[in-house]
Structure 1
Amino acid sequence: MLKGLGQLGDMAGMMKKAQAMQKQMEELQDDLHNLMVTGQSGAGLVTATCSAKGELKGLDIDPSIFNPDEKEVVEDLILAAIKDAQAKASEKAQEEMARITESLGLPKDMKLPF
């Protein structure tokens, strides 16, 4: 009598998973604003802190690098630290996305959002 409902049962399960994934994605977006990563350059002379969303939150510069004759070097070190922090932020965000997709039974390397 209800033989044809097998596909609908699968669809309901998929919808439930989609809703769970949406909720987890929203939570992850909030978490990424609070999750901090640190990038460095010049053997730690310049340290940049970013949220996992890639927003620069802090910059620490060792005063020993302030030499007016080496302005370009200081600028390069600052940029390198920021880029390092942003790369780590992107990496961390991808790790967190992979964790969510795996928990939902989806392939780990699936790129979200679509």
Structure 2
Amino acid sequence: MFGDMMGMMAKLQEAKKKVDETKKRLETVLVDEASNDNKLKVTLTANRVIKSLEIDDELLEDKEQLEDYLILTLNKAIKKASDINEAELAAAAKDGMPGIPGL
């Protein structure tokens, strides 16, 4: 039984290592999103850190319109990045924990 516990601890440490490596790799995975008319473009990492924003000069003339564009486009980008992040971390955890039901 003690051997099983040690084996389980080793598997948990390996899973944590894989998850940590995946988190670090996701810092380099870039997600691009743009408004439907390409007047606003955003790039963020799969860890949901904004790297760049491009705003068409036309949007700078209308504060309310710019705010709407930012909200819609950033939310789409964050959703896309979150989906990638969750899928990658789940896969890393599952790979590190083979044979455990529910993972």
TM over 0.5: yes
Q: Which among 59, 71, 85 is matched to residue 93 of structure 1?
A: 85
Residue segments in structure 1 that go unaligned for 5+ positions in a row: 1-6, 109-114
Does 1 or 2 have the higher relative contact order (CA < 8 Å, sep 6+)?
2
Aligned length in residues: 100
Q: What is the CA–CA distance in structure 1 between the aligned matches of 2:54 and 2:23, rounded to whole Å?
A: 26
Q: Does 1:18 align with 2:9?
A: no
User: Which of 11, 17, 27 is residue 21 of structure 2 equivalent to?
Assistant: 27
Report the Cα distance in structure 2 between the residues aligned to 1:12 and 1:40, rounded to whole angstroms: 49
Query: Which ranges of structure 2 fall in alignment gaps of 5 or more residues?
Result: none
The aligned residue for residue 111 of structure 1 is none
- Structure label with greater radius of gyration: 1
Is 1:44 matched up with 2:38? yes
Q: Secondary structure at the match of 1:34?
A: coil
Q: CA RMSD in A?
A: 2.0
Q: Distance in 2 between matches of 1:49 and 1:85?
A: 8
Seq. identity, %: 29
* Large movers: runs of 4+ above 4 Å: none
Match in the other structure for 1:112: none
Please report how far the alpha carbon of residue 99 of structure 1 lies from its aligned counterpart in structure 2 after TM superposition: 0.7
